[in-house]
Chain A
Amino acid sequence: MISRITGILLRHLYLYQRSLVRWMELFFWPLMNLLLWGFLTYYLRNIEMPIAINYLIGAMILWDILYRSQQGITLSLTEEFWSKNIINIFITPIRTYELVIALCIIGFLKAFMTMGFLILISWYLYQFNLFDLGFSLAPFIGNLILFGWSIGMMTMSLVLRYGNAADAFIWGIPFLIQPISAVFYPVDVLPPFLKFCAYALPSTYIFEGMRTVLNEGVFNISLVYLSFCMNLLYLSAGAFYFSWMLRRVREKGLLSKTSIE
């Protein structure tokens, strides 16, 4: 089992030995994002807005964790289609859960590297210290990575079924979640229906939680706990959906169709 998981890990990690584009994906684009939100915050801070505005930078960094985690696993599978390698992988004795574990580790590594980098830069440029979140930081990050995995599994299933035609979902779904999940503003500003949707997403509790910690210094552990329980639900749903899709794809003989011919 370990060997097969390492196999998939190596397949993706080898790429970082020399690909500038891949390092850019981890550092450059997130940096651009951080600069945008950072300077905006900086500006708003100087015109004597409440210090609460600080959370924009935090929100941006935390959002990126969720995003990298989702992209990490979905893109890794998509790459096998692009390189016509998917059959080679699926005829090895790797089990579905081993493949999913390996891809989740990739998602985690990507999220973790980008996060570390953004924390450093935001501290240096804007004196924003994500560690101000204190003990809440670890459970916040953990939950976001978990939610990233669940969405990743769902988008990955669509890739399996629809091949490259699922591109729009891979890139689009996170940005569907972003406005509802109250990343950059409190849930309160949302209309009632969207409020309901927001509370159905585990990530909402994390972004709300972050704002309370930064504004009021209060850490509400029960929200984190709630988010975690929802995550377990979403993760099982994602895993179930993936294995269901894999079965359907086998019935329809699509593994070969999307890549062989």
Chain B
Amino acid sequence: MLKQIVEVKDISKYFGTVAAVDHISFTVWPGEVLGLLGPNGAGKTTTIQLLLGLTTLTHGQIEILGMDIKTKRNEILQRVNFSSAYISLPSNLTVYENLVVFAKLYGIRHYRNKIMELLEFFDLLHILNSRTGMLSTGQMTRLNLTKSFINDPEIIFLDEPTASLDPEVASRVREKLKKIQIEKNVSMIYTSHNMNEVELMCNRVLFIANGKNVLEGTPKEIKEKSGSLEDVFISIARATNFQINNCKDERL
């Protein structure tokens, strides 16, 4: 029987009175890539932070690989990983040194082979001994991804991994990601503001706005019902803005 990799049950996160995440539920199945979409400030990053236990839940439950994030955080973290365009690695260490540090942190035994294999896959072998600070944005993105595969994770959370890449580099990164995702059958939760990318990468998407689930389905289903993903995105974003503006008006 197929067992779900991630099971999110009715989670909320309040920052003071702001509901960044407001009663969201979803499931991720083995080998599935779930796109988490929504306008700026919708709660995508906060959701991922909650899944990683970087932020604590106000309400609800998260189970990853059958374990509760509240009680088994370390066991879960051993088997998941994360990458984002907004985080980085120490610029004064070399590419190889940085990866050794993380191999150690994940307790990888024969890490040299593992590192070489991944660097080769992400076309970084030639800059093995370069300082990380010298890398181009494209190389840095690939290095971040290399780091996030170092522990052979069963699920990877990617928060706008291709943000700030040029279209050609972004497309190469996507190809690599898709390839390794299929090879290793790893599940993913993927956020991006690029709808073409989402269509290429994701098996299923979940739109959220103002911290709430608004729409869920495969890209195909959504397109059949309501035109392109881009159109759906824009109408959701406009509806959200409309709501926010209305609330403001009421308060005035």
Contact = CB atoms under 8 A, between A and B. Distances in A.
B87 A252 contact: no
A260 B45 CA distance: 10
Interface string B66-98: 000000001101101110101111111110010
A85 B242 CA distance: 37
B105 interface: yes
A90 B54 contact: yes
Interface residues of A, number: 34
> At the interface, is chain A mostly helix, strand, loop or mixed?
helix
Contacts of B94: 14
A85 B89 contact: yes
Contacts of A256: 45, 49, 54-55
B87 A85 contact: yes
Interface string A15-57: 1000100000000000000000000000000000000000000
A10 B101 contact: yes
Interface string B93-113: 110010011111111000000
B167 to A, nearest CB: 24
Interface in B30-67: 45-46, 49, 52-56
Contact of A14 (B81, B84, B93): B93
B142 interface: no
A255 B93 contact: no
A89 interface: yes
A236 to B, nearest CB: 23
Contacts of B147: 88
B71 to A, nearest CB: 14
Interface stretch (A1-9, A206-214, A215-223): A1-9
Contacts of A164: none
B13 interface: yes
B89 A255 contact: no
A84 B55 contact: no
Of A19, A92, A247, the most chain B CB neighbours within 10 A belong to A92
Nearest to B81: A91
Interface residues of B, number: 38
Contacts of A87: 54, 82, 84, 87
A93 interface: yes
Contacts of A11: 90, 93, 101
Nearest to B20: A253
B56 A250 contact: yes
Contacts of B53: 250
Nearest to B49: A256
Contacts of A95: 74
A83 B133 CA distance: 10
A80 B93 CA distance: 12
Contacts of A261: 86
B32 to A, nearest CB: 21
Contact of B92 (A15, A251, A259): A15
A257 to B, nearest CB: 10
Interface string A120-133: 00000000000000
A206 B20 CA distance: 51
B45 A85 contact: no
A167 interface: no
A200 to B, nearest CB: 35
A194 interface: no
Nearest to A256: B49
15 contacts: A8-B101, A14-B94, A79-B90, A83-B92, A84-B88, A87-B54, A87-B82, A87-B84, A88-B82, A91-B54, A92-B77, A92-B105, A93-B75, A253-B13, A253-B55
Interface of B: 13, 15, 20, 45-46, 49, 52-56, 74-75, 77-78, 80-82, 84, 86-94, 97, 100-107, 147
